[in-house]
Amino acid sequence: MAGSITAARHLRAGLSLAARASPRAQKLRLGRVPKRLSSTVSTASLEIPLDVFTPRHIGPRDDETTQMLKTVGYDSLEAFVRDTTPAGIRIAENSLTDAVIKPLTEAELDERIREIAKKNKVLRSFIGMGYWNAVVPKVILRNITENPAWYTSYTPYQPEISQGRLESLLNFQTMVTDLTALDVANASLLDEATAAGEAMIMCLAALPASNKKRTFLVDSGVFPQTIDVLRTRALGFGVNVVVADAQAAISDPAIADDLIGVLVQYPRQDGAIIDYSDLTEKVHALNAQVICATDLLALTLIKAPGEWGADIALGSSARFGVPAGYGGPHAAFFAVKDKLKRKMPGRLVGVSKDTMGHPAFRLALQTREQHIKREKATSNICTSQVLLANMAAMYAVYHGPKGLKAIAERVQQLTQALATALSAKGYTVTNSTYFDTLTVEVASAADVMAKALEKGINIRKVDDTHVGVTLDESARLHDITALASAFDGASIPQSITGGESIPASFLRTSPYLTHPTFNAYHSETALLRYIYYLQAKDLSLVHAMIPLGSCTMKLNPTSTMAPLTWPELGSLHPFVPEDQAKGYHEMIKELEEDLCTITGFKACSLQPNSGASGEYAGLMVIREYLLSINQGHRNICLIPVSAHGTNPASAIMAGMKVVSVKVLANGNLDLVDLREKAEKYKENLAAFMITYPSTYGVFEDTVTEACKIIHEAGAQVYLDGANLNAQVGITNPATCGGDVCHLNLHKTFAIPHGGGGPGVGPICVAEHLAPFLPGHSQVKTGGSKAMSAVSAAPWGSASILSISWAYIKMLGGSGLKTATSMALLNANYIAKRLEPYYYVKFKNGAGRVAHEVLIELAEFDKKGGLKVTDFAKRLQDYGFHPPTCSWPISTCMLIEPTESEDLQEIDKFCDAMIQIRKEADDIISGKQPKDNNLLKNAPHPISVISLSEEEWNRPYSRATAAYPLPYLKTRKFWPSVTRIDDAYGDLNLMCTCPSVEEMEAKF
């Protein structure tokens, strides 16, 4: 290891240990420092940087690494890695070095990204098409967007330590249901276009199993990027997407007789506000669904979709305080009528109660989701956009109903003023109704756009003789004055009079956002305190290690996060001219090249905006390739039973049939079963999906042989990159035998999880698959034979790509490899410390695990009635987020520490698990009752610890419940509720902010 650690690391190690030592120890250390600095210093040494990133990212210091290696039985990191990884898959030592990817110090990184950012031109963009210039309130920007307590938390599967963001997400759902006037909303989807794709398949799923209908009608006023994604989604389900004037096309018997649903844009892309109530009646008469893609700000002024009969409403919430970010990330919203709630994709937050009867929030109706339904799922949604949804929710809380309406009225008035000016100059505004968008007939669209550009304004080309303009909250009078002058010197009038731009019959009269939450926090002081009140309820990486297996909750470095909110990265519309985004293109190209270097593949697409989206994109690329070689009949996908639930769901979405493959008792893939099934289905075999290292936490020796079996059958290998953090610099997916893999940039490459999103799931592919990488209807990207888009924006969640780009650049080749090696060591150290107390389920022949360790808890259920959940909830009392529970095996915990955690934190976790084992033994031996004990009653929030003596009916002390180990007396994170009753929440479903009356009635 010595060769890969710099002098700066040793300096850092000394400082770090000194800072954590006792005062006396610090004095002793300082006492060894000479009284005088050396009088002779080489000036050349002054060039050696002190802000090298690798030692700042990796948790263990050199002496800690030595100690951990000794514990697991090794003298060197290299020897340990050799025993942990199969020889047959290791890449050459010089494959990933600092010569291949040169590391930058933090200061150098800052200089470099500033240079890149300057190449982006930040102009005023009134292009529209579902993207706006958001005004992000500084109190939200500083205290949520830039706050690691919000962006480093995980999806709230452990609700007792997630009540803050769950409440905020409930606010988001309430905001959406109020504005759309529908019954139930989820906690966000990836973007508007993919939300429309989910809705289209919902229409299909809502029909009886015997249904043969397959036509989905899309109104011609829908955004083109949405249509592009719909065409992609339709392929896997055999849906026929018809784009036409929906109001006319519904009368066509060929469409009507085969209809599953209709999608309309409200307001339309051209800005028109159309009354769809008659269309809705006709569609319902055909037993089909009406989907409305809409705009939340517009809905403060115009009649809600639910009021004119829409079954589903969706759109982007980015207008509520989320930057454009060159396309994302943005939180899509999705609301449905009550009858469709069990078909709805995505996370759903509901109100339940804890064991003390107090109201508490948790994820509801999880049986709808891919990790339960697997190959029976029609959606593979896993990651959503929680951080962005929370920003949008706080925006609504901050402004309230009156503030939102005032913003909407200002936008509409500015649009009306511009329309008046253009009409007075002789231009025809083709849409007589509008909220924020005008379509203008001109002699030459190119000439008008050029004149607008001279004034620093981008507008949209509709065709050669029409342009489009979409205004937003950021627009000011001087903006539209400058824009009007581009139309032959048109000028804004001194006053405007109310017109019929919104028909009187379509003005909104119903109330919205009436809950006290949206009417109580309108000063910055009040909102700031509300944000921190919620934040205090959630455990994140600012508090402790989050050892979730298969989730890679590593450090999200501040240096990589800081540029995210710069205007040069945050303010670009995704459809600006290419010369205005040169910085982005340079960064994207470098990131694609680095990811190809790391994976060993030829080409990369950054468009998929989640890991599940990457899975789907990779399988669709395989589908396109097979079609190109006249093998389109191949539709069987082999998937191990240990695979993540998104794998079979993604295969179904890609139009494939799933056949499961067995695993052996030692956790390895059953090659006999694989070979038999590859032979059985060889004429129709399309793909094999495999996660490596396996979800059981081991490197399988036979991965290359498995891939060879598949290739000999004429199929492609999809390697799921969820566990790539165990591969970087040691092996790669191409060497293992893959043809395509997806990567989770929110795992391996340090994009934060955001409490459940955003994520990025790029795919890397071999040369023969490169031509089929996804393209886009509005911006040239993808391969030479590009398939249609999988996301709304050309590069998906483009703004957060800067995080992974910066992470790779600062670590460099050697740092990336060291990070992987340390992730492996940390996991094996945990396995070694825990194995006297817990059964480590799977190891390789040398007794090693990979980057995560699977422990078996079945014996505790048999002996003491203790479930995995009991261990998880008790671990919360020790200040830790539990590991992944009951997956990939229902009786197990999957533990992944990552390379970012130091020995002190890892030992605290191990100490906590060992102490819990002792508590479990007391239950098994009868020292504690099986139905009233530390584990069954966990967690123990302050509301329990503060019970009176008369109420305290537990056979253990308050101190034992709250402070089972000494460190907790000085550093304690408190769960905010007791264990939550999931069944009650699903049986009494409530997915909006409960009223005072509802709280009294139910709780």
**Are the C-beta atoms of residues 764 and 554 closer than 8 Å to each other?**
no
Q: How many CB atoms lie within 10 A of CB 258?
A: 17
Does residue 185 belong to any structural domain of this protein?
no
Q: What is the pLDDT of residue 2?
A: 39
Q: How far apart are CA 655 and CA 623, in angstroms?
A: 9
What residue ranges in 274-380 does DSSP mark as E strands? 289-294, 312-316, 332-336, 349-353, 359-363
Instruction: Identify the band that residue 996 occupies on the pLDDT scale cut at 50, 70 and 90.
Output: low
* Cβ atoms of residues 614 and 344 within 8 Å: no
Going by DSSP bridges, is the β-strand pair 763-765/603-605 parallel, antiparallel, or unpaired?
antiparallel
Residue 11 scores a pLDDT above 50: no
Instruction: Using alpha carbons only, give the angle 917, 918, 921 rounded to the nearest 5 degrees.
Output: 90
State the DSSP code for 439: E
pLDDT at 34 over 80: no
Alpha helices, H only, 331-385: 370-373
Q: Which of 365-369, 449-453, 695-699 has the lowest mean pLDDT?
A: 365-369
pLDDT-above-70 percentage for the chain = 94
* Helix, strand, coil shares, percent, the chain, to 5: 45, 10, 45
Q: Which amino acid is at 499?
A: G
Confidence of residue 186 (pLDDT cuts 50, 70, 90): very high
Provide the percentage of residues in the chain whose pLDDT is more than 90: 87
Q: Is residue 627 part of a domain?
A: yes
* CA–CA gap between residue 574 and residue 564 (Å, rounded): 16
Q: Quote the pLDDT of residue 12.
A: 37
Tell me, yes or no, whether 250 lies in a domain. no
Tell whether the model's pLDDT for residue 716 goes beyond 90.
Answer: yes
Classified as helix, coil or strand, 175 is helix
pLDDT at residue 1002, rounded to an integer: 58
pLDDT digits (tens, 9 = 90+) for 540-595: 999 999 999 999 999 999 999 999 999 999 999 999 999 999 999 999 999 999 99
In a domain, residue 722? The reply is yes
Per the CB < 8 A criterion, the answer to whether 789 and 421 are in contact is: no
Q: Which residue has better confidence, 305 or 497?
A: 305
List, for residues 425-448, the tens digit of each pLDDT value: 999 999 999 999 999 999 999 999
Helix, strand or coil, per DSSP, at residue 31: helix
Secondary structure element (H or E) that encloses residue 517, with its range: none
**Amino acid, single-letter form, for residue 85:** T
- CB 190, CB 385: distance < 8 Å: yes
φ/ψ of 709, rounded to 5, equals -60, -45
Alpha-carbon torsion 755, 895, 737, 630, what sign? negative
State the residue range of the domain holding 663.
601-809
Q: What is the pLDDT of residue 15?
A: 34
Residue 435 DSSP label:
S
760 domain residue, yes or no: yes
Q: Is 590 among the domain residues?
A: no
**Average pLDDT score over residue span 926-945:** 97
Whole-angstrom Cα distance, residue 298 to residue 983?
Answer: 38
DSSP 659: E
Cα–Cα distance, 738 to 711 (Å, whole number): 10
Window from 85-94, 380-389, 700-709, 849-858 with minimum mean pLDDT: 380-389
Span 122-139, mean pLDDT? 97
Structural domains counted in the chain: 1
What's the pTM value of the predicted model, to 2 decimals?
Answer: 0.94
Q: Report the alpha-carbon distance of residue 182 to residue 180 in Å, rounded.
A: 5
Q: What is the DSSP letter of 470?
A: E
CATH no. for residue 690?
3.40.640.10
pLDDT at 997: 59
Tell me which DSSP letter residue 129 carries: T
Residues 71-77: contacts with CB under 8 Å, at least 24 apart: 71/829, 71/832, 71/833, 72/825, 72/828, 72/829, 72/832, 72/848, 76/1, 77/1, 77/821, 77/822, 77/825
Report the number of secondary-structure helices (H) and strands (E) in the chain.
35, 26
Q: What is the pLDDT of residues 588-616, one digit of tens each?
A: 999 999 999 999 999 999 999 999 999 99
**Residue with tokens 């067995």, as numbered in its chain:** 662
For the chain, the average pLDDT equals 93
- ω into residue 693 within 30 of 0, thus cis? yes
The total number of residues written for the chain in this structure: 1003
Q: Residue 662: inside a domain, yes or no?
A: yes
Q: What is the mean pLDDT of residues 416-421?
A: 96
Given this model, what pLDDT does residue 999 score? 57
Q: How far apart are CA 367 and CA 349, in angstroms?
A: 13
Q: Pseudo-torsion of CA 153, 157, 158, 159, nearest 10°? A: 90
Q: What are phi and psi of 10, to 5 degrees?
A: -65, -40
Count the alpha carbons within 13 Å of 346 in the hemisphere toward its beta carbon: 36
Compute the half-sphere exposure of residue 452: CA atoms within 13 Å on the CB side of its CA.
26
399 occurs within a structural domain: no
Residues 6+ apart with CB under 8 A from 108: 49
617-626 pLDDT, tens digit per residue, is 999 999 999 9
Instruction: Please give the angle made by the CA atoms of 592, 595 and 600, to the nearest 5 degrees.
Output: 120
Taking alpha carbons only, the member of 934, 913, 938 closest to residue 922 is 934
**998: pLDDT confidence band, cut at 50, 70 and 90?**
low
Name the nearest CA neighbour of 895 among 884, 910, 907. 884
Q: Which of 6-20, 29-43, 389-403, 677-691 has the lowest mean pLDDT?
A: 6-20
Q: Is the pLDDT of residue 219 over 60?
A: yes
- Rounded to whole angstroms, how far apart are CA atoms 902 and 924? 33
